[in-house]
Amino acid sequence: MRGSLTLGKVFGIPIKLHTSWFLVAALVTWSLAGSFFPQAYPGWPALTYWAVGAVTAGLFFASVLLHELGHSLVALREKVPVRNITLFIFGGVAQISSEPTTAAAEFRIAVAGPLTSLALAGLSGLPSLMLAGSPVLAAPLAYAARINLMLAVFNLIPGFPLDGGRVLRAILWGLGGSLRTATRWATRVGHGVAYLFVLLGLGQMFLLGNLLNGLWILFIGWYLKDAAESSYQQAVLRDMLTGVTVRDVMTQGCAAVPVDMRLDRLVADYILNAGQRCFFVTEEGDVVGLVTLHNIRAVPRDRWSQMAIGQIMTPVETPFLAHSDEDVLTLLRRMDEADVNQVPVTEGGNLLGLFTRGNLLRYMQLRSELGV
């Protein structure tokens, strides 16, 4: 979810808006003000339609946010960290840092969102009936009641990673005892649901001639298919890396080089002759940065004799270090939060090596080739 704006925090959870949200917010407001409300409530002034449309769109996105907060608060109660909630073109998503530890916890987290939406439908529907004599006030609440009911029903479709798919996974997990197996079967069901959406969208477009609705349903199907595959891959990754430590993956023996060394000397003396691929950059005995082949490749070869290592290094923030015995999954979460790709590894206060995402990819590839 890069390209997101942080609005603030609710219960300590960062709330973000992805840039795609602005497009869908404008489309929802335009659809409500230009089509839905004029058909449902004819005779209002144009400005009233736009004002009611804007208020109703705000209630819609507030409902999506509260739905995700429902998931997030239960996740926090289950000791599952929540990185943020992001509103984007397909609604909202609560980014949870790790899987629940039990099937029961997964079930409770999954059903919290739809239950929140059902509660919101009731809280909006009752006042809309009481305000039936004032259509301008009742209209946004009636729409909010309807959209929350739709959110609850849609999310309970058993297509992973929708809430209903996660409920299905929790049930399969509880019955079979394997999260990975449950995720695989829930993903297969999710694929089936995604393809049904794709077929429904194509039918809307080519059989009924409803291009806009069909295209939207088609995109939802594509998104669900992609999200299901991504979620399964993450589950496989977690399963493969359980119990793996930083020491198992890191690059050891990174040479220490001074910050003012020229690139041509580094390449000639350390890379070509000695076969080194990573370097700690030091200044007056302190490590101030890292240099890998990636940094060097970014510099034209004819400038190597003019460029010092300190000019191309990746600066190291001293507090962000990894310990050799740290769990790889824990370190990856920390790296994601700090948005870094490589981390110095220490042991007993001494620099031991370097952990990079490239190390991890090579490690996983070797395990896959060996079938372990």
Sign of the C-alpha dihedral, residues 285, 288, 293, 298?
A: negative
Please identify which residue in the block is written with the tokens 């015995």.
325
The full DSSP string for 240-260 is HHTT-BHHHHSEE-PEEEETT
Among 56-65, 86-95, 97-106, 148-157, the minimum mean pLDDT is found in 86-95
Catalytically annotated residue among 68, 99, 106, 326? 68
> Among 3.40.50.150, 1.10.760.10, 3.10.580.10, 3.90.1150.10, what is the CATH number of 246-370?
3.10.580.10
68 is catalytic: yes
pLDDT digits (tens, 9 = 90+) for 175-219: 988 888 888 899 889 889 989 989 999 888 888 878 878 888 888
Q: How confident is the model at residue 46 (pLDDT cuts 50, 70, 90)?
A: very high
Question: Could you state, in order of their start, the residue ranges of all structural domains in the chain?
Answer: 4-156, 173-242, 246-370
Tally of CB atoms within 10 A around 46: 10
- Give the single-character DSSP code of 321: -
Residue 179's alpha-carbon distances to 81, 192, 224, 368, in angstroms, are 18, 20, 20, 20
Task: Give residue 251's pLDDT.
Answer: 77
How far is it, in rounded angstroms, from Cα 121 to Cα 117? 6
Could you tell me which of 162, 145, 249 has the C-alpha nearest to residue 197?
Answer: 162
Q: Is the pLDDT of residue 317 over 70?
A: no
Distance CA 279, CA 297 (A): 14
3-state percent helix, strand, coil for the chain, nearest multiple of 5 = 60, 20, 20
